[in-house]
Amino acid sequence: MDQNNHEILLEAKNLCKYFPTKDFFGRKKAEVKAVDGIHLAIRKGETFGLVGESGCGKSTLGRTLIRMYEPTSGSIHFKGQDITGWKGKKLLPIHKQMQIIFQDPYSALDPHLNVKEIIKESLTAGGNMPASEMDGRIEELLKRVGMKPDDMHKYAYEFSGGQRQRIGIARALSVEPEFLLCDEPISALDVSIQAQVVNMLEELQEEMGLSYLFVAHDLSMVRHISTRIGVMYLGRLVEVADSDELYENPLHPYTKALLSAIPIADPKVARITNRVVLTGDLPSAMDVPSGCHFHTRCKYAENGCKESVPELREISPGHYVSCSCIQGIMHNESNTLEK
Amino acid sequence: MDSVFLVLKHDKAAVISLIILAVVILLALIAPLLPMDPNATDVINRLKSPSTSHFFGTDEVGRDYFARVIYGGRVSLLVGFLAMLTSLTIGVAVGTISGFCGGIIDTILMRIVDILHSIPWMILVTVVSIFLKPGIQSIILVIGLFTWMEIARLVRAETLSLKEREFVLYAKFSGVRVFHIILRHIIPSVFPTIIVSATTSMADAIMTESSLSFLGVGIQQPMSSWGSLLQDAQGTMQNNFFMALIPGLLIIITIFGFNKLGNLLRVYVEPKVMNDEKE
């Protein structure tokens, strides 16, 4: 069982995704480095949470991993196979095993099709299913996500946001995937609905043995659902750790600032908590700082941070941080604590 | 639907032109059932003024002018409709393929559009129609083949934004073929635009056909269209000016009616689409 837990399902090595920007004459002007050299491994059955500011490349990383976007460089391994160079028809079986749930349930479903047609499309694409089995299968899927079989003939706009998200999940599950990219699946929903959807995702994970990459910016929800969490800043992973470890013992200065931004419900506790406030603005993704991307806003930054790119290093078992000054910072902190 | 009535309430010209348009289309449709022959000559009664037996009088060979106007309208509307269908088909196909595929295909198709657009179409159409055998088919073809560029541009622009929408991304991701994505996702979504441009395109086609027939490169005798009736009326302008007035007015009202219809369809179709997405 333990052995099984550590089997790696999806792995990225030095993955990059750059978007070229073009000038008036169509020449390449600059590149937006949305994903810039990421090493990541997602284990079978786990939920890997991915957090970070908007525009830091979380969704791009997810979509590149499932080969929705073409990676610029680096490699992606799925179940031990290198799928980086795969194209067209060869990718179809891979896409059936890696599915996606979108952030915006309004633009994820075609307003001109009814639920049956929406699910049918992903069921039939690339493969065949006899029409007689189709209805039963769709009914079963709808039941699984907590909807009525009659809903099959309704159009997407007749449903609320939460119900649409359920349809999106049913569509993703229709091909029996092993890996599900949840691309901010709950950020467009009401708080009460968020909990329902998250609970449902957890139940489905248990039933079907799914692995999730859960992209989000709601930090408390990510902690709740994730086994491990990665923190992204401007296209790079700055810290990866087990969920509780990361929240209780954040090491990277950016993670600290990010986590201290979680609102605390109790005002008494909130008053005595030190909020780490970052100075400066998020640099533009088209013109990222040299060396460690975070050095422009980091209070521990040294001269070396401007030049060398820090690697993701294991500080304690399972806890990876990419910061060249991490030893100094940790030392400093234990001193302040003693005082 | 309410918004449509609201527009109609404030736009009397639209109501009147739509009613006339409806009557014209209806008459054109039932023309063969009417007890009159547009080609029967009656040399004794030539160039008569309007009377109860000949509502619009007779022309210079004594043919009933009312019948000729109705049959002319039949031809004008048929040419307009089929030319619209032709240009719509080409325009939608080029627009969606160009927008969806992008890259080199997009560049080639759009440069073709630019080139066709930069040639004064009247010259183009006139030159081409000299080479084709004169007749109703070649008129339809010529108009259809040289008026699709605007539609292609409109459809392409919408396709460009649609293909980034997540339901299209997902269809692409799950391996639905490009042809099916265009047919199932893109075209239904650009349908409002297609419908609206269909009405304008129809009006333009009727206008073009009339101009061509007026210049003598369009519909040939004994068949008549509103444009060729206008041309025939030139010779007798001084005595029977209404012979020019009637087809001229009908052309104006029909084109105006189709443009108004396009406006109404836009009002009818767009709020619904917005509701679908924002609800």
Which of B167, B275, B277 is the best mutation test for A, with the most CBs of A within 10 A?
B167
Which of A37-51, A219-233, A322-336 has the lowest average pLDDT?
A: A322-336
Does A264 reach chain B within 8 Å, measured CB to CB? no
Q: B276–A110: do the CB atoms touch at under 8 Å?
A: no
- Which of A173, A167, A218, A177 is closest to A194 using CA atoms? A218
Does A93 reach chain B within 8 Å, measured CB to CB? no
Task: Provide the pairing of β-strand A8-22 with A73-78.
Answer: antiparallel
Task: Provide the pairing of β-strand A81-82 with A73-78.
Answer: antiparallel
- Non-local (6+) Cβ contacts of A260 within 8 A are A273, A274, A275, A276
B30: left (phi over 0), alpha (psi -120 to 50) or beta: alpha
Q: B173–A112: do the CB atoms touch at under 8 Å?
A: no
Residue A50 has pLDDT above 90, yes or no: yes
B136-145 and B187-215 helices, crossing angle to 10°: 130
Q: What is the pLDDT of residues A162-178, one digit of tens each?
A: 899 999 999 999 888 99
> Which pLDDT score is estimated for A15?
92
Dist. CA B186–CA B171, nearest whole Å: 11
Dist. CA B10–CA B12, nearest whole Å: 6
B275: pLDDT confidence band, cut at 50, 70 and 90? very low
The predicted complex's ipTM stands at 0.85
Task: Find the closest chain A residue to B191 by CA distance.
Answer: A112
> Which pLDDT score is estimated for B271?
54
Q: B277–A102: do the CB atoms touch at under 8 Å?
A: no
> Which pLDDT score is estimated for A181?
94
CA distance B265 to chain A (A): 18
Query: How many other C-beta atoms are found inside a 10 Å radius of the C-beta of residue B275?
Result: 11
Q: At A34, is the secondary structure helix, strand, or coil?
A: strand
Dist. CA A101–CA A193, nearest whole Å: 16
Does B179 reach chain A within 8 Å, measured CB to CB? no
> Which pLDDT score is estimated for B216?
79
- Which of A49, A60, A63, A64 is closest to A255 using CA atoms? A49
Does B175 reach chain A within 8 Å, measured CB to CB? yes
A4: pLDDT confidence band, cut at 50, 70 and 90? very low
Dist. CA B25–CA A118, nearest whole Å: 40
Contact criterion met (CB below 8 Å) for B57 and B242: yes
CA B128 to chain centre: 20
Task: Take residue B168 and report the two structure tokens written for it.
Answer: 């299209």
> Which pLDDT score is estimated for B160?
94
- In A145-252, which residue ranges form alpha helices assigned H by DSSP? 161-173, 191-208, 219-225, 243-248
Dist. CA A166–CA A189, nearest whole Å: 12
Q: Which residue has the higher pLDDT, A13 or B238?
A: A13
Task: Take residue A275 and report the two structure tokens written for it.
Answer: 């909020």
Q: What is the mean pLDDT of residues B67-76?
A: 88
Residue B241 has pLDDT above 90, yes or no: no
Which of A160-169, A176-185, A287-296, B200-209 has the lowest average pLDDT?
A: A287-296
Phi–psi pair at A319, nearest 5 degrees:
-115, 110
Does B174 reach chain A within 8 Å, measured CB to CB? yes
Sheet with A28-43, strands from edge to edge, namely A28-43, A8-22, A73-78, A81-82
Q: What is the mean pLDDT of residues B223-243?
A: 81
Residue B278 has pLDDT above 60, yes or no: no
Q: What is the average pLDDT score of chain A?
A: 86
- In chain B, which residue ranges form alpha helices assigned H by DSSP? 2-10, 12-30, 65-101, 103-118, 121-131, 136-145, 149-162, 166-173, 178-181, 187-215, 226-233, 242-278
Q: A68–B173: do the CB atoms touch at under 8 Å?
A: yes
Residues of A in contact with B184 (CB under 8 A): 110, 113, 121
Residue B164 has pLDDT above 70, yes or no: yes
Which of A53-62, B53-62, B193-202 has the lowest average pLDDT?
A: B53-62
> Which pLDDT score is estimated for A2?
42
Residues of B in contact with A113 (CB under 8 A): 184
Q: At B39, is the secondary structure helix, strand, or coil?
A: coil
CA distance B177 to chain A (A): 8
Dist. CA A188–CA B193, nearest whole Å: 29
Locus of tokens 């129609």: B129
Which of A39-48, A277-286, A289-298 has the lowest average pLDDT?
A: A277-286
Q: At A24, is the secondary structure helix, strand, or coil?
A: coil
> Which pLDDT score is estimated for B272?
52
Task: Find the closest chain A residue to B190 by CA distance.
Answer: A112
> Which pLDDT score is estimated for B277?
43
CA distance A106 to chain B (A): 7
Dist. CA A197–CA A208, nearest whole Å: 16
pTM score, whole prediction: 0.82
Q: A107–B165: do the CB atoms touch at under 8 Å?
A: yes
Taking CA atoms, A87 is separated from A18, A93, B100, B231, B240, in Å, by 19, 11, 19, 62, 73
B235: left (phi over 0), alpha (psi -120 to 50) or beta: alpha
> Which pLDDT score is estimated for A51?
92
Which of B104, B162, B163, B173 is the best mutation test for A, with the most CBs of A within 10 A?
B173
A337: pLDDT confidence band, cut at 50, 70 and 90? low
Residues of A in contact with B165 (CB under 8 A): 107
Dist. CA A117–CA B201, nearest whole Å: 33
Dist. CA B179–CA B174, nearest whole Å: 14
Does B164 reach chain A within 8 Å, measured CB to CB? no
A10: Cα within 13 Å, side-chain hemisphere:
29
Q: B166–A92: do the CB atoms touch at under 8 Å?
A: no
Q: A100–B173: do the CB atoms touch at under 8 Å?
A: yes
Phi–psi pair at A51, nearest 5 degrees:
-120, 165
> What SS3 string covers B177-218?
CHHHHHHHHHHHHHHHHHHHHHHHHHHHHHHHHHHHHHHCCC
| B175: nearest CB among A66, A92, A171 | A92
Q: What is the pLDDT of residues B97-110, one digit of tens each?
A: 999 998 899 999 99
A122: pLDDT confidence band, cut at 50, 70 and 90? confident
CA dihedral of A208, A211, A216, A221, whole degrees rounded to 10: 60
A45: left (phi over 0), alpha (psi -120 to 50) or beta: left
